[in-house]
Amino acid sequence: MSGIETLQNSFETYFNHRHFPISPATLYNPLEEFLSNSGKRIRPVLCLMGNELFGEISDDAYHLAAAVELFHNFSLVHDDIMDKAPLRRGKPTVHSAHGESTALLGGDVMMVVAYDYINKVNAKYIKDVIRLFNQTAKEVCEGQQLDMDFEKLDLVSMDDYLHMISQKTSVLLAASLQLGAIVGGASDNNQQHIYSFGKNLGIAFQIQDDYLDAFGDPEKFGKQVGGDIKSNKKTFLMIHALATANSDELDLLNQLMRENPSDKVEKVLDIFKACGIDKWANELKESYLQKALSDLDEIAVSKVRKEPLMQLANYLISRDK
């Protein structure tokens, strides 16, 4: 069985080439630059792991891993426009460096090229792959819309936020694993368990992401710390703070969200700390990790084959960037 770093390197070797034509350079060069600023390639690695859990990694798994990575980057390019984010992975976002029109078109092209990779997969898997990929793409877009909708609401329930996160973040992690399992010949029951593992792991992953946005080191995190606070995003942390703050803290929190003063982030973080949000977030993250590991335990393969997924799960929820 392959470790995380081995699979990251293996995928990088497969993926490290030009994906788009030379012309028009004003459209395609920014996309090549964006893809080269790679991040951790977690989703394609999950796709390879989902395949290797049931046998040797096939060419089909690499094709699907590339499709997943291109789709993920398409969503990031468009999300950055909607979030007005100046940085991604420590560098200027596509829209901030090259304009919104180029970013919109570029994201669209990435999605099209993702389907080019899917078309390389063995025909016997195509129906199941397309069904899962399309359903996931739709849910990711729905999750992003809900995320934007929540910014306009004064109150969002924890259940509603969990639903949004499941669609925006978790389903792509879960689908990456299941896509690999499909081309690995996994049974329907095993596919269901690996999808559930990915979905719960995705929620734990998002809790850590919300935590890092508030409490992370900006030099390690690669993004603006406090960005969610500045844009009044209803994160796990904010929803819990609104539910647990005392009356004075709640009044100040609502005032900060309305008025957006220059010291908003610092004051909101003070309220978070007073409410014990940092400890609560880590406990919630751990609970979803345990749910994920319980799902993994139900998959009918040997324990040794599951070890890389256990290592990846622990890595994802303890990361600092």
Would strands 91-92 and 87-88 be described as parallel, antiparallel, or unpaired?
A: antiparallel
Q: What is the band of 223 on the pLDDT scale with cuts at 50, 70, 90?
A: low
The pLDDT score that the predictor gives to residue 196 is 98
* Chain segment 28-74, per-residue pLDDT in tens: 999 999 999 877 899 999 999 999 999 999 999 999 999 999 999 99
The pLDDT score that the predictor gives to residue 221 is 57
* Chain segment 205-222, per-residue pLDDT in tens: 999 989 999 998 766 655
Residue with the larger pLDDT of the pair 245 and 232: 245
Residues in the chain: 321
The pLDDT score that the predictor gives to residue 23 is 97
Query: How many structural domains comprise the chain?
Result: 1
| High-pLDDT (> 90) share of the chain, % | 81
The pLDDT score that the predictor gives to residue 85 is 87
The pTM for the full model equals 0.90
* Triad 69, 71, 75: Cα angle to 5°: 115
Distance CA(122)–CA(118), nearest Å, equals 9
Bridge partners (DSSP) listed for residue 91: 88
81 contact partners, CB below 8 Å, separation of at least 6: 93, 95, 100, 103, 104
Q: Give the residue numbers spanning the domain of 216.
A: 4-318
The pLDDT score that the predictor gives to residue 200 is 97
Backbone angles phi, psi at 260, to 5 degrees: 50, 55
SS3 state at 206: helix
Helix boundaries (H) for the chain: 4-15, 25-36, 42-52, 59-83, 94-98, 100-118, 123-151, 158-165, 171-183, 188-215, 218-221, 227-230, 236-244, 247-259, 264-274, 277-298, 303-318
The pLDDT score that the predictor gives to residue 187 is 97
Q: How many CB atoms lie within 10 A of CB 135?
A: 12
Distance CA(305)–CA(206), nearest Å, equals 26
* Chain segment 271-301, per-residue pLDDT in tens: 999 999 999 999 999 999 999 999 999 999 9
Burial 154-173 (b: 16+ CB within 10 A, else e): eebeeebbbebbbbbbbbbb
We report the CATH number of the domain holding residue 253 as 1.10.600.10
The pLDDT score that the predictor gives to residue 106 is 97
Reply yes or no on whether the pLDDT at 11 is more than 90: yes
The pLDDT score that the predictor gives to residue 224 is 65
* Chain segment 170-200, per-residue pLDDT in tens: 999 999 999 999 999 999 999 999 999 999 9
The per-residue pLDDT of the chain, averaged, comes to 93
The pLDDT score that the predictor gives to residue 317 is 83
Q: How many CB atoms lie within 10 A of CB 18?
A: 11
Q: How many CB atoms lie within 10 A of CB 232?
A: 19
Q: DSSP code of 57?
A: P
Q: What is the band of 4 on the pLDDT scale with cuts at 50, 70, 90?
A: confident
Residue with the larger pLDDT of the pair 234 and 109: 109
50 contact partners, CB below 8 Å, separation of at least 6: 61, 176, 177, 178, 179, 180, 181, 184, 186, 194
